[in-house]
Structure 1
């Protein structure tokens, strides 16, 4: 594992230096760190260490040892791909298995997991609750030692968060007296103490850590209305599409965020009309699209094959978007944390 890490990275990021010691000690931690700072790998490094040590000692059994909870199916899919890289780099593809469980998971994959559990379960709160309600899966989850909750702030104060809290307590009951190591990750977590309590429950210890920002970010506020506050009908939209097209032409890879799916469809269509030479390099992404379409867009974006992707909120939470060099938000995001997350 050491050889793989230093062959791919120059060293530990600040986020990893803060998180790794706690995970190695099986202590719960809430880490807040900007997107792109290596916080997801920070949570998994300690898990890899534990499983590799068990494997070397001949004590690793076929059971779920780590549950990763994602707020989005796109993020879950992205994490599954990112997990395969270190496992392949260590030459442990046969020994360490990953199961992606969302509403998109095929029946054959579900049957395979039920018959032979994987060590990593990548899922969403809803799918985790369903698994915990079925005895065939409960026996696989009884050996879970680590739970990683990504983008923890997105679950706080809503029904999905309540559902997740119940599932985490059910996992703790399966552990008995052995504590469940809970790792919360977020780019915009605040207040930390309250979110830490949400992660682990009352009267349980949880360390909080805040990593420093290691990348410079430039934020500009743009308005298509320049001089005349009451322009002719349609002027604002026409100018918006024209100048957005100029931004896309001047960059290698752009993500355009909208607040609703219909806006993503409309803007994507208009951009293709504005730039016919880039029609094959401009795509649309939102949760209503077919799974195969969404995955294809995510892969092409990550591989640098697209000049622009117009999306709703489906790509805003921690997804590895590759070499994107410009983020555009059309209309005001529904909250400061969402704006920070997108940037």
Structure 2
């Protein structure tokens, strides 16, 4: 038993869990590791008391410590969020205060003042709680090696969250340097349950690590309940149901002490907050909203009020997903599909944040068909299906930033740093030539930028590459980090009239001449100029529907598997879940009008309406994959028959709509959905170059090719895009093998188009039986997808009433 922990636990009247004792034992034996335990069971204390025990009881460390004239940094605790840093600080500070320990703990985040940072450099605390970016900022200062030389522990909190992003690459690179400074460094990670936990451990600790994986053998009790509407809509459309269930959501809120109401987008959070406060004014002062676009001051006030139990409910987004401990929260409501099983579990864990408490989560579907996901989520949880986190590899933009960081700090010895970097998961495949290219880009601008003095950034001094320009060093420190914001594009007529903003990820998929619906108008794209989409009115009757913020927030592959499994239950005679029983009238209507696919079947519908000729396909793979599959099908179709399509999609299927008839049969569908030559058809059928050009903006920013501006004087997005676009064109023309250029294309295929997932979808579909039907009217499955395109054809005022009339016609209630 850990003596310090024993005293503290006794004072609290608690007994430590088995996983806490196991962690203390591993730390005492000098091991590194990864800790996996449910929310609310004391993961922080499992590591913290191990660190304290080492500080006060390790004889070798105590002997070394006596030589020090000042305190040295003993432990570094890295978290992905400032709010989480504060949470860890409060918990650990409380231990030091109660036990009267002389173990000083401090925070270093974006909120830390310059004076505090300077003091932390000259008189370090024993423990520093910080973020990945702040660690790199310390590395970018003189004397960083001395500062970290005596470091004994690094803890990376919420490692699963960091690992699936470029911030995870920042952590990998920082660890590679800190391990070189102190080879005896002990590294620990804290991770929620993910599908590739062992891989997560290997990436954190290194390929040949001898670390331990501590898994808490504790099952967190979870209560999942689907909120059903009073009446089932047999012809649903996206979002029509959500607010209709407002009274039922408020009933749930009233049954519990404090409730978090999670939405998937900021606009959805704003809508729900306004509707609740308007319908129930008695919630004034008891209801709050929390999302990433709000000021730090507002968010901190909400978090503090949650801690103190002053709020009845908070409408929030993923801004409250991560492990901040709000003990008063005893219920969670999820509005709409959570899009992923891990996200659903993470949000559920925000409630009952105490040992052996039940986490209560209510799932509120936003359309009738989404009700089935209640069954899918229960199935996934019961069978322990949870997503993997896919790590980034070969992120040369982050590597270039890191090399600049070392050069701005103590300087870098190229061959030594190459060997360190090669030991990370992200760069284990890097060659000497590729590393030399990175160095060349920093020393003289590389193959295509050597004529410009601004890109002669590093100078070789006594065997070390350094940054001698104070201006360059300051600019670099202001640019450290790998978080990039999404860019909105202004939609304008040639005359200059401004119509509104749309996401660049949508516009980047279009070519000049393509038509799309926006603000109730049919518009043809003339050109993309910086961050403006120049358009003109079009009389064509077909067009693409924009995908909005959250529209790219697609269901995970694992949730897709669970949804397809739920659809296989439709045909069961007994033992059906409440969700599937409730949906029976919709499924009967679908079967009567078209067909109801089995788990190993793909349903395809060809329908002629007054709006055109529709081909509906239902792979149940998620909106992002469906957008890509639809574009590949449209391209392949165009090579066989002279026909142009509009595309619309949702999580369950997609629509190809043509103004002219086209012939279709089972053989042709099988050919169109063949998995062979997919990469070539994606490249030919989708404007990949423009997507890569847009992706390059973020890469150029992280790599330091474009400067984003000084605090309070950020460079305008259009200048950033123009500068990045210029580099992209230069590399395309004069340096086609440039590492950053290749990375832009790789990221488009891997993350934006999800080529791997598309390939798996085509492979899976190729083994399924195609069920082709020719309904005379829209079906319950088709109607939600049709409504996605329909709403963009009309102004905001009348699309809902028109869609409602169309639904009544389909139901035979009106002519």
Is the pair's TM-score, using the shorter chain for normalization, greater than 0.5?
yes
1:121 positional shift? 1.2
**What SS does structure 1 have at the residue aligned with 2:223?**
coil
Which residue does 2:104 correspond to in 1? 97
1:320 positional shift? 0.6
**Among candidates 204, 208, 212, match of residue 213 of structure 2:** 208
1:115 positional shift? 3.0
1:20 positional shift? 1.6
Q: In the alignment, is the contact (CA less than 8 A) between 1:104 and 1:291 conserved in 2?
A: no
1:87 aligns with 2:96: yes
Which residue does 2:71 correspond to in 1? 62
Unpaired stretches in structure 1, ≥5 consecutive residues: none
1:302 positional shift? 1.6
Q: Quick check: which has more Rg, 1 or 2?
A: 2
1:201 positional shift? 0.9
Q: In the alignment, is the contact (CA less than 8 A) between 1:32 and 1:186 conserved in 2?
A: yes
1:148 positional shift? 0.9
1:229 aligns with 2:234: yes
1:220 aligns with 2:225: yes
1:183 aligns with 2:188: yes
1:86 positional shift? 0.5
1:165 positional shift? 0.3
Distance (Å, rounded) in 1 between the aligned partners of 2:97 and 2:143: 29
User: Structure 1 pair 211/246, CA: closer, same or farther in 2 (3 Å)?
Assistant: same
Unpaired stretches in structure 2, ≥5 consecutive residues: 349-815
Distance (Å, rounded) in 2 between the aligned partners of 1:47 and 1:149: 14
1:295 positional shift? 2.1
Which residue does 1:126 correspond to in 2? 133
Of structures 1 and 2, the one with the larger relative CO (CA 8 A, separation 6+) is 1
Which residue does 2:49 correspond to in 1? 45
Which residue does 1:71 correspond to in 2? 80
User: Structure 1 pair 49/241, CA: closer, same or farther in 2 (3 Å)?
Assistant: same
**What SS does structure 2 have at the residue aligned with 1:325?**
strand
1:315 positional shift? 1.6
Deviates more, 1:296-305 or 1:195-204: 296-305
Distance (Å, rounded) in 2 between the aligned partners of 1:141 and 1:334: 41
**Among candidates 158, 168, 182, match of residue 151 of structure 1:** 158
1:135 positional shift? 2.1
Query: How big is each residue's C-alpha offset from its partner over 1:29-62, in whole Å with a ceiling of 9 and x where there is no partner?
Result: 1111111111121111101112233798874852
Distance (Å, rounded) in 1 between the aligned partners of 2:38 and 2:291: 23
Q: In the alignment, is the contact (CA less than 8 A) between 1:188 and 1:341 conserved in 2?
A: no
User: Structure 1 pair 56/129, CA: closer, same or farther in 2 (3 Å)?
Assistant: closer
Q: In the alignment, is the contact (CA less than 8 A) between 1:114 and 1:137 conserved in 2?
A: no
Distance (Å, rounded) in 2 between the aligned partners of 1:316 and 1:7: 31
**What SS does structure 1 have at the residue aligned with 2:226?**
coil
Distance (Å, rounded) in 1 between the aligned partners of 2:310 and 2:319: 19
TM-score by length of 2: 0.40
Distance (Å, rounded) in 2 between the aligned partners of 1:68 and 1:222: 40
Q: In the alignment, is the contact (CA less than 8 A) between 1:31 and 1:208 conserved in 2?
A: yes
User: Structure 1 pair 182/76, CA: closer, same or farther in 2 (3 Å)?
Assistant: same
Distance (Å, rounded) in 2 between the aligned partners of 1:111 and 1:226: 63
Kindly report the root-mean-square deviation, in angstroms, between the aligned alpha carbons of the 2 structures. 2.4
Which residue does 1:106 correspond to in 2? 113
Number of equivalenced pairs: 339
Which residue does 1:322 correspond to in 2? 327
1:15 aligns with 2:19: yes
Which residue does 2:124 correspond to in 1? 117
What does 1:24-35 align with in structure 2 at a 5 Å threshold? 24-35=28-39
Query: How big is each residue's C-alpha offset from its partner over 1:79-127, in whole Å with a ceiling of 9 and x where there is no partner?
Result: 11111111111113xx222222222323333233223211111111122
Which residue does 2:178 correspond to in 1? 171
Q: In the alignment, is the contact (CA less than 8 A) between 2:242 and 2:336 conserved in 1?
A: no
Which residue does 1:278 correspond to in 2? 283
Q: In the alignment, is the contact (CA less than 8 A) between 2:96 and 2:103 conserved in 1?
A: yes
**What SS does structure 2 have at the residue aligned with 1:71?**
coil
User: Structure 1 pair 100/231, CA: closer, same or farther in 2 (3 Å)?
Assistant: same
**What SS does structure 1 have at the residue aligned with 2:222?**
coil
TM-score by length of 1: 0.90
Distance (Å, rounded) in 1 between the aligned partners of 2:187 and 2:230: 48
